[in-house]
Each structure stands twice: as C-alpha cells, then as structure tokens.
Amino acid sequence: MDVNRLEIDDVKHELKIRGIPDMTDEEQMKSVLKKLIGLELTTKISMIKETLNVDEEEKECRSKIVELRTQIPQFSGRYNDGRYKKLLARITHLIIRLERLPKSIPQREVLLGEVNDLKFSLNIKAPPPATSKDVQSEDENGEFVEGQNKSNEMSSTASSEINKVHKAYLPVSQWKIVKYTGDNPRISLGNFLLKVQDKCISRHVDDEELFDSASDLFDGTALAYYRYIRNRVNSWSELVVKLREVFQGPYYDERLLEEIKERKQGPNEPITLYLAKMHNYFERLTEPPVEKEKLKIIERNLHPFFLKHLSHVDYNSLIELEEIGKKLERGKKLAEGFNKFSSGMKLEPDLEYRNPYSGGKRKEGGFGRNQNATCWYCHRPGHRYQDCDQQNEDEKSE
C-alpha cells in the first residue's frame, strides 16, 4: 500500500481506526501513518483500536468502487505513470479494507471480486511487464484463460504487497548504525552519509522521515551542532549542506580530489575492488566528475601490469575497463600456474616433462647435494651409485 498516493480521506480513515486524533497537515498525516504501519509489522501487533461498523464500512467501500468504475475507463497512460500508481494504491487499499470485514458477511467476497475486476481492467489498459505468471494457458476446451483462481490470487495481492514493503521498513531509531559524533577522525562525514543513504533505501525511509528523526543519528559534538541549527533548516538536504560546511571544512572537495588522484592500485589489489573503492571515493565529492574524467584519473593509478596491456585495447567506461582487467587477471593467474611443476611420484612417470638440462654429472668441487656423499659401489667420495663412472665402465665390459 503506497501511503503517499492514497486519497486524504483514506489516510484519515486509517489514522482514525488506530486512535489517532484529527490532524490538518496532509504530509504529517501520511508520515505518521507510515510509521504506525511499520511499527505494526515490526512488533506484529495491530494498532487498530476502533471496532469497525460493518454496515458503514460496506457502504463506504461500495461508494469507492463506484468512483473507481468512473475513473479507470478514463485513464490513458502507462503502468509506471503517476496516475496509474495512484489508482493502483486506491485499489490496494480498498482490498485491504474489505479483507478486514468478517468472512461471514455475504457481500464481502462479492465486493472483493468487483475490486479485483477493476484492477484487472486497469492492467488491461496499462499492462505491467510480462512475467512467467502472466502467460496465458488453455483450458480443456481450448479457450484461453488468464490463470486459475484469479479472484483469490488478486485479492491476496494487497496483503503480500504491504507485507513485503513493511517487513523491510524500519524506523530510524531502530537502525543499527554508529552515530556520527564529529570527534573521531577515523569516521568521516562522507562515509557516514553514504551509510545513511544505504539504510534509507533498504529500510524504505524517505527524506522527510529521515529529517524528522535526525537526532537519532548524531551524538557528541555533532548532536550539539544539530540542536543548534535544527530550527534554521527545513529538510535533510539542507542539513547535509550545513554538516559539510562545519565538519569537512573549506575546500574539502578540492582536497579530496587531490587525495583521489594519489590513490594507486595496490600490488595485490584486484581490479574490481580497486574500481569499487574509487567509485566510493568519487561518490563522496559534492559533484562527482564525469565518466571520462574518472577514467583518466584511474588510468594514471593502475598497477603497471595493467597499464602495459591496456594500451592495446579500447574501452569507454569503467564497466568495460573492469571486464578487460578481469580477463588480464585470469590470464596472469593461468601463466603463474603454468610454471609450477609438482615433484611428487607420477602415475605415468614416462610422460612427465623432464628438463634436458637439469640432469648430467656433477662437477668435482661443485656445491651439489652429492658433494659429501660416498658411492657404495666404488667406495669413492663425491658421488652416488647412479653417477658412478666405475659402475658404468663395468657394465660396458660385461
């Protein structure tokens, strides 16, 4: 259920049944509702307090079905248009309301079927991308059907959709993230802001909620500064600008860019990991350079092994450079393995490679391993039986 795309009376209804008094600010109402739904799924405890008046609820749902019957035929657009998403959000919410009614109500399944038909009509006008589940099949009479148990499948869509989103949602106060203090030089503001951005994506938190919960992200000096300026900023992006001014200091981007230009690839650092770290470096700039400039910087800092091979190939992006680099690494690994011969006993010793220059007799006075050996055949020092001249001469004379 996309709360941001619901009609305001639907938002008020959801807040009312959870015991929340009337509010006038629409954005605040949506923000509160998202937090409540997220809390319900986190704690697995329903916060709905008001007992539903079945007759009124059924009447209200019928009224909304009539509205949608008028609006859907008038819709013309694609499945990813804002208008489509708004209609889908209303349909999803309507299904959720109907599923709250007792199953003993005769009209419950009838109304759910009507809403599912509306959703089907919407998808006909603006079909979403095809999936394996959307493929038509034939029944025993050869007629095409859209799928078995369409009504049951579509009526459960709303529940699965809301569960998927809200299982991922987690309030900022419950994030397991090290708070930024501004006092530890080992934790940069740039690194902290990227971690916050990652959490927002994975936990479905928008900038508005993030800004409202900003105090949960700071401690120490940074928290003191936040309290000092919070009444002078109106959004998360404005707060970030202020934080950068104070905790990164003047000319930070220029100084960081110089640091990036000096970041060379380590002797044993894989090309993929080097490019990943350089990407993170660029992301911490207020205005990252374009792809062409990134390539120039990286090229100057690659390990010499890559530089001597890259002059013979063309590439125009970091992704292409990564693919070429991985091929070079695989070739290098194969070449290193080629020169490593095992010296153990072979199953087929006659097929083993033998260096023609590694055998032969040792010179007297050499530093071979037979220097202190004594031959048991001729009893002379300095060689072993297999290298004994006397033994060879005796064999020839026989």
For the stretch 29-79, pLDDT in tens is 888 888 887 777 777 667 676 677 888 888 888 888 888 888 888 887 777
Given a cut of 50, whether residue 362 has pLDDT beyond it is no
Report d(CA 45, CA 84) in Å as an integer: 32
CB 102 within 8 A of CB 108: yes
Instruction: Tell me which architecture the domain covering 3-125 has in CATH.
Output: Up-down Bundle (1.20)
Enumerate the domain spans of the chain: 3-125, 172-248, 268-337
Q: For the chain, what percent of residues have pLDDT higher than 70?
A: 75
For the stretch 235-253, pLDDT in tens is 999 999 999 999 998 899 9
Nearest to 180 by CA among 252, 243, 250: 243
Report d(CA 181, CA 196) in Å as an integer: 14
Given a cut of 80, whether residue 359 has pLDDT beyond it is no
Burial class (CB in 10 A: 0-12, 13-18, 19+), 210: buried
Count how many residues are written for the chain.
398
The reported pLDDT for the residue numbered 366 is: 45
For the record, the structure tokens of 98 come out as: 């109907």
Whole-structure pTM value: 0.45
Q: Cα separations (Å) of 350 from 40, 232, 339, 347, 354?
A: 74, 85, 20, 9, 9
